[in-house]
Amino acid sequence: MAGMKFSVLFAAGLPLVAPLSLSAAVKSGHAEAELIAGVSSYQPGKSFPVAVRLTVDPGWHTYWINPGIGGMPVKATWTLPDGWKAGELQQPVPKRFMTGDLPGFGYEGETVFLVDLTPPPGATGEAECKVKLAWLTCDDSACVPGDAELSVKLEAGDGEPGKDSELFKAAGEKIPAEKELGFMVRENGDQLTLFFIDAGEIDLSNVSAFPATPDVVDPADPIKIGKTRDAWMAYAKKSEYTEGPVTQLDIVLSGGKLKQPLLLSWRAEK
């Protein structure tokens, strides 16, 4: 059950039933991990969310899908009942920081990642969903890896939301939504020009941009978006680790006047 914290309370002499699934937080390195189900029971054939809550010690940080230089993204490996499937680890908008002299992208404090789990149409009975997590935490003087094995147990039912629905709502608002926006990239030496040609009514002023594809944009060079007569555009320095021409770039936009973070994707024509 969502929250996975065990308690038995007595009211009017009647005990409240304890949640079916228990998932204690696990501390490793300089972070604590917890697995939370978004439903009180699963509905066969219907996807439902679970959350990985990672809380990093003060003064430390962990890393995004594009960690920058010297980092490592949070990784999740699932062990599920037969026929079940797990989606990708959905990562919220990161922060930009320096680890000593190394630029990177990632998270400080509490971060909630979402994953969609899907049981098969014929699923019945109790299901235990397990995940192995691995991460890297760093401060200015050291990096320490962490790991945890977590699980939740759920019975088949009506798939009603669990008691942590507000946590899932808040987490979902921080995860970029895929958007078709006429995004293009042009390369000239070590400079990349980014065009947002179909932005329409979307105002990209004061928006923060994060390159989600590793080793394409130099993480030390912030992407600053401006507007020309015909389009929004930006310049970025090409990463020294790019081999050959740039063929793809995913970019996350957040802040400014955007109602939600956006994920834009570009692929070179073949």
- pLDDT bin (cut points 50, 70, 90) of residue 44 is very high
* Res. 8: pLDDT tops 80: no
DSSP notation for the chain: -TT------EETTEEPPPPS-----EEETTEEEEEEESBSSB-TT--EEEEEEEEEPTT-BEEEEEEESS--B-EEEEE--TT-EE---B----EEEEETTEEEEEE-SEEEEEEEEE--TT--SEEEEEEEEEEEEE-SS-EEEEEEEEEEEEEBS---B-TTHHHHHHHHHTSPEE----EEEEEETTEEEEEETT-TT---TTEEEEE-STTTB-TTS-BEEEE-SS-EEEEEEBPTT--SS--EEEEEEEETT-SS-EEEEEE---
* Res. 218: pLDDT tops 70: yes
pLDDT at 20: 46
pLDDT at 16: 33
Per CATH, the architecture of 10-173 is what? Answer: Sandwich (2.60)
User: What are 160's two structure tokens?
Assistant: 């009603």
**Across the chain, what does the average pLDDT equal?**
89
* Res. 116: pLDDT tops 50: yes
Q: What is the mean pLDDT of residues 66-81?
A: 96
Q: How far apart are the C-alpha atoms of 82 and 75, rounded to whole Å?
A: 22
* Res. 237: pLDDT tops 50: yes
- pLDDT bin (cut points 50, 70, 90) of residue 181 is confident
Q: What is the mean pLDDT of residues 30-58?
A: 97
pTM for the complete prediction? 0.88
Q: What is the mean pLDDT of residues 100-110?
A: 96
Q: How far apart are the C-alpha atoms of 173 and 191, rounded to whole Å?
A: 33
- pLDDT bin (cut points 50, 70, 90) of residue 270 is confident
Residue ranges of domains in the chain = 10-173, 177-267
pLDDT at 15: 33
Intrachain domains 10-173 and 177-267 with the same fold:
yes
Distances in Å between the Cα of 11 and the Cα atoms of 5, 7, 14, 15 are 18, 13, 5, 7
Reported as a single tens digit per residue, the pLDDT across 9-19 is 223 333 333 34
* Res. 192: pLDDT tops 80: yes
Per CATH, the architecture of 177-267 is what? Answer: Sandwich (2.60)
